[in-house]
Every structure is written in structure tokens, then in C-alpha cells.
Chains A and B, each alone.
Chain A
């Protein structure tokens, strides 16, 4: 079980809400679904029950999203690029 840092978790969850908004704007999501899913993510951001990466993957899977990670090399730091895809 790989633990995930608090900041990284926050970044991924915020990216998930961004993706939700993008889908809502382009018409893939209904307004009702968007608000429901947004509330779930918001609860997670405020309370923070998720401790490991697999928990986060499961959470995103329940939303209907997939988190892809690909390590990329930057100029001065190792960063992880995060892509969130709709299932």
C-alpha cells in the first residue's frame, strides 16, 4: 500500500473537479449529476478519509473516472503528470 501525501491528494481531487466541470460544460454530464459528484469530491477534500493511492483510484472509479500517472522529467525537479480520463 503506497501512501499518498496530503498535497498530492488535494491536487488530484481538485483536478477531478476541474474535469467534472469540463464534462458538464461540454454536455456529457447532467447538472444534477455534476452537483452530486461535486459534493462528494468536496466532502473528500474537506474531511480527507483517503490514505492510499488505491483508495483514491477506487474513489475516482466510483465517480466514473480513471487517474493515469506518468512520471516526466522536468528541468529541476521530478514531477508527476496527472491525466484524468472519463471511463
Chain B
């Protein structure tokens, strides 16, 4: 009993940690904006880099956050993070997308509005479809388990009948 309790508690702790990692993954793409709010990251420039001519801390943070986000998402998926944390990732992806579009089409106002509405609609549809599919999937799993257990039960009843018939 005590051991089982410990196992379940360990499971809960692992789930909480996985959920926290997924939530961090949702925030990480905005790390450069958040840190830039407190520290002037654009003034810190790295010189003499082989890849690019010059690189400031803002873009360094942005590039570093990409692989970290993917790693955290994978860990969260492996250790079964709470399912609503993945929806926060979708919402953060939406904001990221709209920020990037604003960044690219900075001064073309008419296109900007149409594109933003389109991005919102697309992300809304994606989130809605994922929610519906997930619900459907869960109900299928429940019915699957149910049919399996009833097969077991009915086969045991039939087995009993067979034994009675053989005795007669």
C-alpha cells in the first residue's frame, strides 16, 4: 500500500514537472522580448563571429530558444504532461506567428489586417479540430477497453457452461 502510494506520488510529480516544461516551452519563444524588457539586449553585440557579420544578444536568445523549445515539448510528450498545457503552446504559437508577420510586413497596413485575420481563423480552426479529435479519441479508447473486458467476461461464462455440459 505504502509502495503504491509512493509510486503514484512519483507519477504526479513527474507529470507536474512535464507540465511545467511544456509551459516553459510555450513562453520560451518570447524570451528575447521578456529579457529585452529589463536589459537592453540590442546594445550588446558580438563581433568577429564566423557565421554572420554582427549578432546582438536579442537574436542570440531567439535562436537558442528554438531547439530548447522542441526538447521541452518532446520531454513533455514522453512523460505525459497535462493536456491543456499543449493548448497553451498552440496559443503561444499563434502569437508568435502574428508577431513574425507584423515584423515582416511592417508598413503594409492593408495586407497586415487581412493576413492577421486569416492567421487567427486558421489557428482557431486548428485548435478546435485538435480539441474535437482528442475528445473522440478518448471516447474510442473507453469503448475499446469496454469491449475487451466484456469479451473476457462472456468467454468465462461460456467456459463455465461448457464445463457443466461435459459433466452431464
Contacts and interface: CB of A to CB of B under 8 A. Distances in A.
Contact of B146 (A14, A75, A77): A14
B150 interface: yes
A82 B157 CA distance: 27
B157 A31 contact: yes
A18 B146 CA distance: 9
Which size bracket describes the interface of A in this complex? 10 to 19
Contacts of A75: 12, 16
Which size bracket describes the interface of B in this complex? 10 to 19
A6 B19 contact: no
B146 A45 contact: yes
Interface string A53-87: 00000000000000000000001110000000000
Contacts of B157: 31
A11 interface: yes
B145 A14 contact: yes
A87 to B, nearest CB: 22
A17 B145 CA distance: 12
A38 B150 contact: yes
A45 B157 CA distance: 22
B53 interface: no
Contact of B142 (A11, A18, A42, A76): A11
Contacts of A10: 139, 142-143, 146
15 contacts: A6-B135, A7-B135, A7-B139, A11-B142, A14-B142, A14-B145, A17-B146, A17-B149, A18-B149, A21-B149, A38-B150, A45-B146, A76-B12, A76-B16, A77-B82
Given A6-B139, A17-B146, A31-B157, 19 more contacts: A7-B135, A7-B138, A7-B139, A10-B143, A10-B146, A11-B142, A14-B142, A14-B146, A17-B150, A21-B149, A21-B153, A38-B150, A42-B150, A45-B143, A75-B12, A75-B16, A76-B15, A76-B82, A77-B82
Interface of A: 6-7, 10-11, 14, 17-18, 21, 31, 38, 42, 45, 75-77
